[in-house]
């Protein structure tokens, strides 16, 4: 009987896919929003820009404006003077902002770079409103009804010529409005921050944050006239500075407690 000769097996070529390269962990960093453009005046020299963009979780920046329009005081800054040094575990840093186009954004942008706060809450006066207004959106337009404190009065001018039409506030505005009301202070979510320096600052700060890669959350709150301001303004609504400060403290507390907003209706027809 003839024995069949066993063929020797040739080694098969290795057709396995090459192993993927090792994963290298990198620090998290928020990428700049595509298309976001910072005006040249707002650009910070590269050598002074911190490499790390992560915020300090224990710092909240609260800003108020200097007086304008012939007023002796601005309730937004008077509120800042009454805020506690800490809210929860967060250190409160306050900053007075000039009531001027562009300069207001530059002032807050420099503070964001220096402090790297987790939250920025800007406050401004809206004479004629009767409650705290937590603003939902800032729009890319300046249309000044009067000159700012530097004599500038832009009309129908874009804040950032190549920027998006609007930015939504990144704070939990509905949770904040509810917390303010629960503190006994009238409050609402507002859908217009106007077209003066307050809206200019809201849009500009959000634009700066988006373009620079910071993870800071930011927004704006309008407050009524202080009681002392309406002594010569019959019929105008007002509120005590102490009550407004209590409302702002409640709003900051809610913003620190909520990473995402509460889903409740705050819609309005006007």
Separation CA 137–CA 169 (nearest Å): 6
227: tokens are 């009681």
Catalytic annotation present for 198: yes
| Bridge partners, residue 188, by sequence | 133
Nearest CA to 173 among 135, 210, 138? 135
> Is the distance from CB of 216 to CB of 229 less than 8 angstroms?
no
Catalytic annotation present for 222: yes
Separation CA 61–CA 92 (nearest Å): 6
* Strand order across the 56-65 sheet: 86-87, 90-97, 56-65, 117-125, 217-223, 132-135, 187-190
Is pLDDT at 161 greater than 50 in this prediction? yes
Question: Which residue in the block uniquely carries the two structure tokens 């306050």?
Answer: 94
Catalytic pick among 200, 207, 214, 222: 222
> Is the distance from CB of 101 to CB of 152 less than 8 angstroms?
yes
User: What pLDDT sits at residue 8?
Assistant: 45
pLDDT tens digits, 184-242: 999 999 999 999 999 999 999 999 999 999 999 999 999 999 999 999 999 999 999 99
Catalytic pick among 99, 198, 207, 249: 198
pLDDT tens digits, 111-152: 999 999 999 999 999 999 999 999 999 999 999 999 999 999
DSSP type of residue 69: T
Catalytic annotation present for 214: no
pTM to 2 decimal places: 0.81
> Is the distance from CB of 134 to CB of 221 less than 8 angstroms?
yes
Is pLDDT at 5 greater than 60 in this prediction? no
Domain annotation for the chain: domains and CATH numbers? 53-257 (3.40.630.20)
> Is the distance from CB of 55 to CB of 90 less than 8 angstroms?
no
216: tokens are 């800071």
**Cβ atoms < 10 Å from Cβ of 137:** 20
Average pLDDT score over residue span 254-270: 87
Catalytic pick among 78, 93, 106, 135: 135
| Bridge partners, residue 60, by sequence | 92, 119
**Cβ atoms < 10 Å from Cβ of 178:** 20
Confidence of residue 268 (pLDDT cuts 50, 70, 90): confident
> Is the distance from CB of 185 to CB of 85 less than 8 angstroms?
no
> Is the distance from CB of 200 to CB of 135 less than 8 angstroms?
no
User: What pLDDT sits at residue 54?
Assistant: 77
Strand, coil or helix: 111? helix
Separation CA 111–CA 118 (nearest Å): 12
């Amino acid at each position: 009987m003839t024995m069949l000769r066993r063929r020797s097996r040739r080694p098969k070529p290795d057709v396995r896919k090459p192993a993927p390269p090792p994963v290298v962990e990198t620090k998290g960093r928020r990428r700049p929003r595509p298309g976001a453009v910072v005006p040249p005046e707002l650009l910070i020299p590269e050598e002074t820009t911190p490499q790390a963009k992560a915020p300090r979780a224990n710092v909240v920046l609260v800003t108020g404006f200097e007086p304008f329009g012939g007023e002796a005081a601005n309730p937004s800054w008077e509120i800042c003077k009454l805020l506690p040094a800490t809210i929860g575990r967060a250190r409160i840093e306050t900053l007075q902002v000039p009531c001027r186009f562009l300069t207001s954004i530059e002032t807050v942008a420099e503070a964001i770079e220096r402090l790297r706060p987790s939250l920025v809450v800007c406050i401004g006066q809206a004479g004629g409103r009767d409650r705290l207004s937590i603003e939902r959106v800032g729009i890319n337009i300046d249309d000044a009804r009067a000159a700012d404190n530097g004599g500038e009065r832009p009309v129908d001018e874009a804040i950032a010529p190549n920027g998006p039409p609007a930015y939504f506030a990144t704070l939990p505005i509905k949770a904040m409005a509810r917390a303010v009301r629960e503190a006994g202070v009238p409050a609402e979510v507002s859908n217009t921050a106007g077209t003066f320096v307050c809206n200019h600052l809201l849009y500009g700060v959000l634009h700066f944050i988006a373009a620079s890669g910071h993870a800071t959350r930011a927004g704006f709150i309008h407050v009524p006239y202080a009681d002392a301001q309406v002594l010569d303004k019959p019929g105008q609504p007002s509120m005590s500075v102490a009550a407004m400060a209590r409302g702002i403290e409640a709003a900051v507390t809610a913003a620190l407690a909520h990473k995402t907003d509460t889903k409740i209706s705050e819609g309005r027809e006007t």
